[in-house]
Amino acid sequence: MRPAARQPRLTRERARAVLAGLAVLLGASLVLAAIIGGVRIDFSRALDFAHPDSPDFVILFRARLPRVLLGATVGGGLGAAGAALQALLRNPLASPDVIGISGGASIGAILVLALGVGGPAWILVPAAAFAASLATLGAIVRLSTVHGRLNPYSLLLVGVIANTIAAALIMLVTAMVDSLRAQGVLVWLTGSLAQRPYSLVATVFVFTVLPALALWAQARSLNLLALGEETAVQLGTDVARVRRTSFLASALLVGASVSVSGVIGFVGLIVPHCLRLAIGSDQRLLIPASFLGGAVFLVWADTVARTLLAPTEIPVGVLTALCGGPFFIFLLRRQEEGRGI
Amino acid sequence: MSREPVVRLEDVRFAYRDRSVLDGVSFEVERGERFGLLGPTGSGKSTLVRLLSGVLRPSAGRISVGGRDLGGYPPAELARRVAVVPQETALDFPFSVLEVVLMGRAPHLGGFGFEGDRDVEAAESAMTRTGVADLAGRFFHELSGGEKQRVVIARALAQEPEVLLLDEPTTSLDIRHVVEIFELLSALSRERGMTLVVVLHDLNLAALYLQRLAFLKHGRLYACGPPEEVMTYRTIRDVYETDVYVHRNDLTGRLNVLPLGSVTAGSRT
| 3-state secondary structure string across chain A | CCCCCCCCCCCHHHHHHHHHHHHHHHHHHHHHHHHCCCCCCCHHHHCCCCCCCCHHHHHHHHHHHHHHHHHHHHHHHHHHHHHHHHHHCCCCCCCCCCCCHHHHHHHHHHHHHHHCCCCCHHHHHHHHHHHHHHHHHHHHHHHCEECCEECHHHHHHHHHHHHHHHHHHHHHHHHHCCHHHHHHHHHHHCCCCCCCCHHHHHHHHHHHHHHHHHHHHCHHHHHHHCCCHHHHHHCCCCHHHHHHHHHHHHHHHHHHHHHHHCCCCCHHHHHHHHHHHHHCCCHHHHHHHHHHHHHHHHHHHHHHHHHCCCCCCCCHHHHHHHHHHHHHHHHHHHHHCCCCC
pLDDT score recorded for residue A219: 94
pLDDT score recorded for residue A2: 42
- With CB atoms and an 8 Å threshold, state whether A15 touches B114: yes
Q: How far apart are CA A106 and CA A254, in angstroms?
A: 10
Q: Does A338 touch chain B (CB under 8 A)?
A: no
- With CB atoms and an 8 Å threshold, state whether B112 touches A220: yes
Q: How far apart are CA B194 and CA B31, in angstroms?
A: 7
* Residue B179 and residue B232 share a domain: yes
> Structural domain of residue B227, as residue ranges?
1-66+162-239
For chain A positions 106-135, those within 8 Å of chain B (CB to CB) are: none
Say how many domains are in chain B.
2
**Looking at the domain assignment, is residue B145 inside a domain?**
yes
Last residue of a domain, one of B110, B134, B159: B159
Higher pLDDT, A201 or B197: B197
Q: Residue B1, exposed/middle/buried by CB under 10 A (0-12, 13-18, 19+)?
A: exposed
* Residue B172 and residue B234 share a domain: yes
Report yes or no: A225 and A242 within 8 Å, Cβ to Cβ.
yes
What is the maximum alpha-carbon separation in chain A? 67
| A13-20 average pLDDT score | 94
In SS3 terms, chain B reads as: CCCCEEEEEEEEEEEECCEEEEEEEEEEEECCCEEEEECCCCCCHHHHHHHHCCCCCCCEEEEEECCEEHHHCCHHHHHHHEEEECCCCCCCCCCEHHHHHHHHHHHHCCCCCCCCHHHHHHHHHHHHHCCCHHHCCCEHHHCCHHHHHHHHHHHHHHCCCCEEEEECCCCCCCHHHHHHHHHHHHHHHHHHCCEEEEECCCHHHHHHHCCEEEEEECCEEEEEECHHHHCCHHHHHHHHCCCEEEEECCCCCCEEEEECCCHHHHHHC
Which residues of A fall within a CB distance of 8 Å from B120?
A: 9
pLDDT greater than 70 at residue A7: no
pLDDT score recorded for residue A157: 87
| A294-305 average pLDDT score | 95
| Predicted confidence band of residue A1 (pLDDT cuts 50, 70, 90) | very low
pLDDT score recorded for residue B88: 87
* Residue B168 and residue B55 share a domain: yes
- With CB atoms and an 8 Å threshold, state whether B86 touches A280: no
- With CB atoms and an 8 Å threshold, state whether A234 touches B55: yes
**Looking at the domain assignment, is residue B78 inside a domain?**
no
pLDDT score recorded for residue B264: 54
pLDDT score recorded for residue A3: 45
Name which of A206-220, A263-277, B104-118 the model is least confident about: B104-118
Angle A199-A81-A262 from CA coordinates, rounded to 5°: 50
**Looking at the domain assignment, is residue B113 inside a domain?**
yes
**Gap between the terminal Cα atoms of chain B:** 50
* Residue B112 and residue B50 share a domain: no
- With CB atoms and an 8 Å threshold, state whether B139 touches A5: yes
- With CB atoms and an 8 Å threshold, state whether B86 touches A228: yes
Which residues of B fall within a CB distance of 8 Å from A230?
A: 50, 55, 86
Q: How far apart are CA A288 and CA B42, in angstroms?
A: 45
Which residues of A fall within a CB distance of 8 Å from B51?
A: none
pLDDT greater than 70 at residue A299: yes
| Predicted confidence band of residue A233 (pLDDT cuts 50, 70, 90) | very high
pLDDT greater than 90 at residue A181: no
**Looking at the domain assignment, is residue B191 inside a domain?**
yes
ipTM for the complex shown: 0.89
Which CATH code is given to the segment(s) A21-333?
A: 1.10.3470.10
| A185-196 average pLDDT score | 75
Which residues of B fall within a CB distance of 8 Å from A236?
A: 74-80, 106-107
* Residue B58 and residue B169 share a domain: yes
Last residue of a domain, one of B159, B175, B198: B159
Shortest Cα distance, chain B CAs vs residue A57, angstroms: 44
Residue B88: closest CA among B149, B142, B42: B149
- CB nearest to B78's CB, from A15, A87, A236: A236
Report yes or no: A299 and A75 within 8 Å, Cβ to Cβ.
yes
Name which of A188-197, A299-308, B37-46, B220-229 the model is least confident about: A188-197
* Residue B12 and residue B52 share a domain: yes
Summary mean pLDDT of chain B: 90
- CB nearest to B99's CB, from A9, A219, A230: A9
**Looking at the domain assignment, is residue B51 inside a domain?**
yes
CATH code, B58: 3.40.50.300
| A241-264 average pLDDT score | 89
Best B80, B92, B135, B149 member to test A by mutation, with max A CBs in 10 Å, is: B92
Question: Omega before A311 cis (within 30°)?
Answer: yes
Q: How far apart are CA B138 and CA B157, in angstroms?
A: 19
- Please report, for chain A, the start and end positions of each structural domain, with discontinuous segments joined by +: 21-333
Q: How far apart are CA A191 and CA A234, in angstroms?
A: 43
Which residues in chain B land under pLDDT 50?
1, 266-269
| Predicted confidence band of residue A182 (pLDDT cuts 50, 70, 90) | confident
Q: Does A147 touch chain B (CB under 8 A)?
A: no
Q: How far apart are CA B89 and CA B145, in angstroms?
A: 9
* Residue B181 and residue B123 share a domain: no
- CB nearest to A11's CB, from B50, B55, B114: B114
Closest CA in chain A for residue B115: A11
- With CB atoms and an 8 Å threshold, state whether B91 touches A226: yes
Closest CA in chain B for residue A276: B94
pLDDT score recorded for residue A8: 81
* Span A70-82, pLDDT tens digits: 999 999 999 999 9
**Looking at the domain assignment, is residue B136 inside a domain?**
yes
Strands B68-69 and A149-150, how do they pair?
unpaired
* Residue B115 and residue B2 share a domain: no
For chain A positions 264-283, those within 8 Å of chain B (CB to CB) are: 276, 280-282
For chain A positions 280-299, those within 8 Å of chain B (CB to CB) are: 280-282, 284
* Residue B174 and residue B50 share a domain: yes
pLDDT greater than 60 at residue A4: no
* Span A147-168, pLDDT tens digits: 777 777 788 888 888 888 988 9
User: Cβ–Cβ contacts within 10 Å for residue B211, how many?
Assistant: 17
* Residue B233 and residue B172 share a domain: yes
- With CB atoms and an 8 Å threshold, state whether A92 touches B92: yes
User: Cβ–Cβ contacts within 10 Å for residue A184, how many?
Assistant: 15
